[in-house]
Amino acid sequence: MSRTTERDPVIVVGSGIAGSLLALEAAAHGPVVLVTEGALGEGSTQRAQGGMAAAIDEHDTIADHVADTLAAGAGLCDEAAVRLICEDGPRQVAALLARGVDFDRADGRLRLAREGAHSAARVVHAGGDATGAHIVAALSAALRADPRIDLAEGERALEVLVRDGRAVGLRTLGRDGRGHSRSARAVVLATGGMGHLYSRTTNPPGATADGPALAGRAGAALADLELVQFHPTALAVGESPLALVSEAVRGEGGVLRDAAGRRFMPDEHPMAELGPRDVVARAIARHAAALGADVTIDLRHLDPGEVHARFPTVAALCAAHGLDLARDLIPVTPAAHYGVGGALTDMAGRTTLPGLYAVGECAATGAHGANRLASNGLLEAAVLATAAARALGESDAKWPMTSLPNVSPVAPPEPAGDGGAVRRAVQETMWRGVGVERDATGLAEASRALEALPEGTDPATDNLLMIGRLTAAAAAARTESRGAHFRADFPDPDPAQARRIAWVGGLPVALPPAPARRDRALALEAA
Ligand SMILES: Cc1cc2nc3c(=O)[nH]c(=O)nc-3n(C[C@H](O)[C@H](O)[C@H](O)COP(=O)(O)OP(=O)(O)OC[C@H]3O[C@@H](n4cnc5c(N)ncnc54)[C@H](O)[C@@H]3O)c2cc1C
C-alpha cells in the first residue's frame, strides 16, 4: 500500500455508539468511510437497556460520579480518564439530545434512574429499557443523511494495513465474498465487545474480539484482558446472545434457588440476592456447578398480575421460551457481558501504533479500572469517540511516544473454512477455565487446550482464539482477586499488583501506576 495523503479518508470500523458518533464528528474534517459488518447499527449498543450515566441532577456532583467510578474500579482506574468521562458526561447527554435521542422525561425534565453502586440518580434512559435502540436509531439516521460519509455495510474488517510503523489502510471482505483494500489517513477500530469468547454471553454475534485482534496483529499494545464482567442473571435458555433478567427482578423480591430448591444467597452475602454483581455471579456459577443444573429465579410468591405489569420485557422474553415469569422457576446463568480490556489507548483513542485509533468497548483506556460501573460503558464510548474525532483533525505530532519496543505486524491466518467446531471449543474452554472463578490449575488446562486448537479456520474464530489465549495468560498473570477478576486460589487483592497489564507482541508489560503517568502520554515500562 502506497504512502497515504491528507485526501485519503478516515476509515471507521463499526456502527455502534462509538463508531457512529466518531464518523459523524470526524466528517467535519474530511472524508470518512464507515465499514460495518452487518446492517448499520447492529451491535451491543442496540441492546443496551439501563442507560448512560451523567451527573446532571441538582443533588449530584461530578466529584461523586468520579468517586463511585473509582470505587468500582478497585484500584486500577486511570484517574485522569475517570475525571474526563465524568466531567464530559453532561455535555454528551446534551449532544445526544441535539442529535435527536429522545431520552425519557417527566414534567419536562430528564428522568434519571439510580443503579447499583451509583450514589445518586444519574442514568438517562430512552423508551424505558430501550435506551440503546433509541441511540442507534438517531445516529444511524444521521449517518444515512450525511453525504460526507461513505457507508460500507456488510463488510468485515480483516486486517489493518501497516507501512513504516504506521496504519495506512484496511483490508476487508464484502458480503459478496469480494475483498477490498483501502488507503486511509487513519483507521479507527470501534468493533465492540468480546463476549463470544464464552459459551454464555449477552453480547450480539459480532462481539468476537475483532478490534483487539486486528490491533494486536498490527503491532499495537493490548491491555486489561483478564478483566471480563459477567452479568449474574442471563436467561439460561436458547443460544447466545442470552437475554438479560435485570437486577430489578431481584430488587422486587425474586429469590435465587439451586436445583434442589434451596435459597442460597443469604449464606453468601448480607444483602443476599442484592449483593454486588460479581458476588452473585460467582455464587450462581458455583451452585449450578455443584448440582450440575442451572439456578433459577423464583417470583411465585408475588402477585402474578403485578409481576407481569412491572416486567413486561422480561416476561415476554420468558414467554418466547414457554416460561411464565410469575408462575415458573426461571433458569438463569452468569454470562460474559462486558470486556474491560482491549487495545490500549489514551483518552483520544490513540493506540500505540501511529495512525490507529480504538474507541468504545474494544478500547482499554483505564477509565473502568478493574470493574466497570453500570452505565459508564455508553458514556466512555461517547466521550472517547468525540475526543478521537478531535484528535483526527490535529497533526500527527501529538501522537504520544512510548518506551515500548516496536512490534512488527503479523498477517492474519489464511481462512480455510468453517470454524464452528473450533469456536465452540474456544467458548467451552474459556467458560470452564477462564470464567467467573479462576485458579492456576484451570487456567493452565485452558491455556493448553487453546494452544492445541488450530488457526486458519474462519477470521472471527481466529480472532477469538488469539484473544482467548491472551486472556487466559492475563488471568494467570494476575495472581490476586480484584474487580471483575476472581482467583479462587488468590481470593484477596494484593496491593503490589495494583497495576494494569498490557500485552505487546504476545508478551506481558506492566503499566506504571496511573498517577505516575504524565498527561496524555502513554509512558510504559517493560516488566
Ligand atoms: C445486553 C446488553 C446491555 C447493555 N446495557 C448497557 C447499559 O444500559 N449501559 C451501558 O453503559 N452499557 C451497556 N452495555 C454495554 C454497552 O452497550 C457497550 O459497551 C457499548 O454499546 C459498546 O459500544 P461500541 O460502539 O463500542 O460497540 P457496539 O455497539 O457493539 O458496535 C460494534 C460494531 O462493530 C461492528 N463490527 C465488529 N467487528 C467488525 C469487523 N470485523 N468488521 C466490521 N465491523 C465490525 C459491529 O457489527 C457493530 O456495528 C450493555 C451491553 C449489552 C450486551
Tens digits of pLDDT across the chain (527 residues): 555 677 899 999 999 999 999 999 999 999 999 999 999 999 999 999 889 999 999 999 999 999 999 999 999 999 999 999 999 999 999 999 999 999 999 999 999 988 878 889 999 999 888 899 999 999 999 999 999 999 999 999 999 999 999 999 999 999 999 999 999 999 999 999 999 999 999 999 999 999 999 999 999 999 999 999 999 999 999 999 999 998 888 988 999 999 999 999 999 999 899 888 888 999 999 999 999 999 999 999 999 999 998 888 889 999 999 999 999 999 999 999 999 999 999 999 999 999 999 999 999 999 999 999 989 999 999 999 999 999 998 877 666 546 666 689 999 999 988 899 999 999 999 999 999 999 999 999 999 999 999 999 999 999 999 999 999 999 999 999 999 999 999 999 999 999 999 999 999 999 887 654 433 334 333 32
Cβ pair 196, 299 in contact under 8 A: no
Residue 488, judged by CB atoms within 10 A of its CB (0-12, 13-18, 19+), counts as: middle
Q: How far is the CA of 193 from the centre of ligand 1 (A)?
A: 6
CA dihedral 444, 280, 513, 402 (to 10 degrees): 60
Cβ pair 206, 43 in contact under 8 A: yes
Q: Say how far apart CA 508 and CA 501 lie, in whole Å.
A: 6
Best residue among 118, 171, 191, 247 to mutate for probing ligand 1's pocket (most ligand atoms within 8 Å of CB) is: 191
Residue 509, C-alpha cell as written in the block: 508489560
Determine the atom of ligand 1 nearest the C-alpha atom of 459.
Answer: 41
pLDDT, residue 6, reads: 73
Best residue among 44, 201, 337, 384 to mutate for probing ligand 1's pocket (most ligand atoms within 8 Å of CB) is: 44
Determine the atom of ligand 1 nearest the C-alpha atom of 35.
Answer: 43
Q: How far is the CA of 388 from the centre of ligand 1 (A)?
A: 18
For residue 189, list its beta bridge partners: 13, 358
CA dihedral 23, 406, 502, 356 (to 10 degrees): 0
Cβ pair 102, 68 in contact under 8 A: no
Q: How far is the CA of 197 from the centre of ligand 1 (A)?
A: 15
pLDDT, residue 401, reads: 45
Q: How far is the CA of 201 from the centre of ligand 1 (A)?
A: 13
Determine the atom of ligand 1 nearest the C-alpha atom of 14.
Answer: 34
pLDDT, residue 375, reads: 92
Ligand 1 neighbours (beta carbon < 6 A): 13-19, 35-38, 42-45, 47-52, 131-132, 156-157, 190-193, 202-203, 206, 210, 244, 338, 360-361, 375-378, 381
Residue 350, judged by CB atoms within 10 A of its CB (0-12, 13-18, 19+), counts as: buried
Q: Which of 277, 282, 372, 487 is catalytic?
A: 277
Q: What value does the CA radius of gyration of the chain take, rounded to a whole number of Å?
A: 22
Provide the terminal-to-terminal Cα distance of the chain, rounded to the nearest Å.
35
Cβ pair 294, 321 in contact under 8 A: no
CA dihedral 138, 49, 116, 467 (to 10 degrees): -90
pLDDT, residue 406, reads: 66
Nearest to 20 by CA among 102, 134, 161, 127: 134
Determine the atom of ligand 1 nearest the C-alpha atom of 192.
Answer: 27
Take atom 41 of ligand 1 and give the residue whose Cα is closest: 157
Best residue among 378, 383, 462 to mutate for probing ligand 1's pocket (most ligand atoms within 8 Å of CB) is: 378
For residue 151, list its beta bridge partners: 34
Bridge pairing between strands 295-298 and 330-339: antiparallel
Q: Is 277 a catalytic residue?
A: yes
Residue 25, C-alpha cell as written in the block: 464528528
Q: What is the pTM of this model?
A: 0.95
Q: Say how far apart CA 136 and CA 119 lie, in whole Å.
A: 28
φ, ψ for residue 278 (rounded to 5)? -70, -35
φ, ψ for residue 180 (rounded to 5)? -135, 145
For residue 166, list its beta bridge partners: 163
Q: Say how far apart CA 17 and CA 190 lie, in whole Å.
A: 9
CA distances from 160 to 113, 240, 283, 327, 371 (A): 40, 29, 41, 52, 29
Question: What per-residue string of b and e applies to 53-86 under the rule 16 or more CB within 10 Å gives b?
Answer: bbbbeeebebebbbebbbebbbbbbbbbbbbbbb
pLDDT, residue 432, reads: 95
Determine the atom of ligand 1 nearest the C-alpha atom of 136.
Answer: 29
Residue 413, judged by CB atoms within 10 A of its CB (0-12, 13-18, 19+), counts as: middle
**What is the H or E stretch that residue 229 is in?**
strand 228-235
Nearest to 152 by CA among 45, 362, 9, 47: 9
